[in-house]
């Protein structure tokens, strides 16, 4: 009962965290991809994507209906469930591989900020780590379970291609422990998910583009950085996990378990160094090896202290001291909440309708305008800027200039596209929401005035300060609304006119 109560407490903390800790931008992108697929769209064919789709196919049914912004909180609840199942699989693996329960290691991992944060997010890596632990459990059984382990490892890679490194490590363990025959069974099981995904792309006609985005583009990845920053974060917050893992590998207490731990740590480390952009989610691949090695190390440390109260007091003191950095890291993460994002999302949901151009992907429950529903700096570096800019401008025009959410990722977009946005959109409350509009410089209002083509037909509110404004020679009051089609309008002023703006309040077909 003690361990069950302990796991339940961790599960509850994760549930609270999932409803509080700030969103990662990738969560919106993964949720939107699932939303699009639930409505029949095919990645690569209908929209750009650089992730494999298994996780999103499984997530898609949970985005059906008219989800609205709050659905992402429920999807985080699914991630918390995955988090809890992973802790269960972790505990089971430790018992099967070492012969003992080691709840301290479960706490080390659950409190590790990198692990905790990435497991409660809506992202494929948490799902992949669960599959990794389940695959390792399969390797502890007979041959038929080795086939199942291979299937889980293959599905893991179809959830996120970077997990090919961890899958390779599990394959090596299958070969070491079950011989050539076991390795073949593992490989046959591992081929099922890739074949099914291949057929999915083939049948939908997306295969050529999928190859271009998933293989060619990833092979040409230009953005890279050192894993040192997040490795330092792992050490600062979870040194006890690394130290006990090192002790477990050096002590070599139970050779089969130690060999498996060493292989997993080696391939997880390889991933961290070879993945071009090793964000925190990349470091999740280290945890299966660290868990097993740390359990061996903790068991070895227990042998150095006499049984009874000395061991209890020493273990408790070490546990508390070691977890303080982790708790401090989590305290910082809890200080950055999701409330601001949720408030903006709810406002957009209640006050607007129709498609969006959203640089961040925040409005995941609406159709995105254009082929590229989300882009970050690394992807922008590999696209032809002018082609992307022109096709995006054309898509915005064809959609009748939908609402725009200007976020920091738009700052990475080509200058010509950003200029297009500033020429055709104006900021409104709440920031960073932008609506179709135009600002007219007062120098252009003199004489016969200025010929202005507004971005699309609709009803426009005209506001200014100072003198008089005439539209097509009709005098207006500031705040008045006019209806226009696609033809230009003539705008002129009399007196000192400042900050003349046209803001669309209603679109027309």
Residue 300: pLDDT band (50, 70, 90) is: confident
Q: Evaluate the CA torsion angle 395, 455, 418, 365 in order and state its sign.
A: negative
Residue 321: pLDDT band (50, 70, 90) is: confident
Specify the pLDDT at position 1. 41
Residue 386 has pLDDT above 50, yes or no: yes
Residue 93 has pLDDT above 50, yes or no: yes
Beta bridge partners of 434: 404, 427
| C-alpha distances in Å from residue 503, one per residue of 28, 434, 443 | 28, 10, 20
Q: State how far the Cα of 12 lies from the Cα of 6, in Å rounded to an integer.
A: 10
Tokens of 218: 């990833």
CA atoms within 13 A on the CB side of 57: 15
CB 276 within 8 A of CB 221: yes
Q: State how far the Cα of 298 lies from the Cα of 236, in Å rounded to an integer.
A: 19
Contact partners, residue 420, CB within 8 Å, separation at least 6: 389, 393, 396
Tell me: the pLDDT tens digits for 389-410? 999 999 999 999 999 999 888 9
**Which H or E element spans position 474?**
strand 474-476
Alpha-helix runs per DSSP H in 19-70: 25-38, 54-59
Chain mean position to CA 318: 35
Q: Evaluate the CA torsion angle 49, 50, 52, 56 in order and state its sign.
A: negative
Is 452 strand, coil or helix?
A: strand
Specify the pLDDT at position 305. 66
**Which H or E element spans position 506?**
strand 489-507
How many residues are given for the chain? 509
CB 244 within 8 A of CB 298: yes
Beta bridge partners of 492: 470
Tell me: the pLDDT tens digits for 190-242? 999 999 999 999 999 999 999 999 999 888 888 889 999 999 999 999 999 99
CA atoms within 13 A on the CB side of 252: 3
Q: What is the DSSP letter of 203?
A: H
β-pairing, 489-507 vs 433-440, is: antiparallel
Alpha-helix runs per DSSP H in 410-455: 415-424
């Amino acid at each position: 009962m003690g361990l069950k109560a302990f796991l339940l407490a961790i599960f509850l903390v994760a549930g609270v965290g999932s409803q509080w800790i700030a969103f990662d931008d990738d969560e919106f992108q993964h949720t939107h991809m699932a939303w699009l697929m639930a409505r029949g769209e095919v990645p690569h064919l209908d929209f750009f994507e650089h992730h494999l789709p298994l996780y999103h196919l499984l997530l898609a049914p949970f985005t059906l209906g008219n989800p609205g912004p709050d659905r992402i909180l429920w999807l985080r609840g699914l991630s918390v469930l995955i988090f809890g199942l992973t802790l269960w699989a972790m505990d089971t693996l430790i018992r099967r591989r070492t012969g003992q329960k080691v709840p301290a290691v479960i706490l080390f991992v659950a409190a590790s900020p990198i692990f905790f944060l990435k497991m409660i997010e809506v992202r494929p890596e948490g799902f992949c780590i669960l599959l990794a632990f389940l695959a390792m459990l399969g390797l502890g059984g007979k041959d038929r379970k080795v086939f199942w382990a291979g299937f889980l490892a293959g599905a893991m890679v179809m959830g996120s291609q970077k997990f090919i490194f961890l899958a390779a490590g599990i394959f090596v363990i299958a070969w070491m422990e079950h011989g050539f025959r076991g390795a073949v069974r593992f490989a046959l099981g591992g081929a099922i998910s890739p074949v099914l995904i291949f057929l999915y792309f083939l049948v939908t006609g997306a295969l050529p583009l999928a190859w271009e985005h998933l293989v060619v583009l990833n092979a040409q990845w230009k953005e890279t950085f050192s894993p040192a920053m997040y490795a330092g974060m792992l050490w600062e917050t979870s040194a006890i996990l690394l130290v006990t893992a090192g002790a477990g590998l050096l002590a070599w207490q139970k050779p089969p378990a130690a060999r498996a731990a060493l292989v997993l740590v080696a391939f997880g480390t390889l991933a961290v160094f070879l993945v071009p952009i090793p964000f925190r989610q990349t470091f999740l691949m280290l945890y299966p090896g660290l868990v097993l090695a740390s359990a061996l190390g903790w068991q070895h440390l227990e042998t150095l202290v006499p049984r009874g109260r000395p061991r209890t007091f020493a273990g408790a003191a070490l546990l508390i001291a070691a977890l303080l950095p982790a708790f401090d890291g989590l305290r910082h993460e809890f200080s950055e909440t999701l409330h601001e994002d949720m408030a903006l999302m709810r406002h957009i949901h209640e006050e607007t309708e129709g498609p969006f151009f959203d640089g961040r992907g925040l409005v995941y429950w609406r159709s995105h305008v254009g082929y590229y529903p989300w882009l970050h700096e690394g992807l922008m570096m590999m696209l032809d800027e002018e082609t992307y800019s022109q096709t995006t401008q054309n898509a915005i025009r064809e959609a009748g200039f939908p609402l725009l959410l200007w976020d920091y990722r738009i700052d990475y977009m080509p200058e010509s596209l950003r200029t297009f946005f500033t020429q055709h959109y104006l900021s409104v409350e709440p920031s960073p929401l932008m609506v179709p509009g135009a600002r007219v410089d007062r120098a252009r209002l003199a004489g016969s005035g200025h010929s202005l083509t507004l971005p699309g037909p609709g009803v426009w509110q005209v506001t200014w300060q100072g003198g008089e404004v005439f539209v097509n020679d009709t005098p207006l009051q500031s705040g008045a609304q006019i209806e226009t089609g696609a033809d230009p309008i003539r705008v002129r002023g009399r007196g000192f006119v400042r900050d003349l703006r046209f803001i669309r309040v209603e679109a027309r077909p």
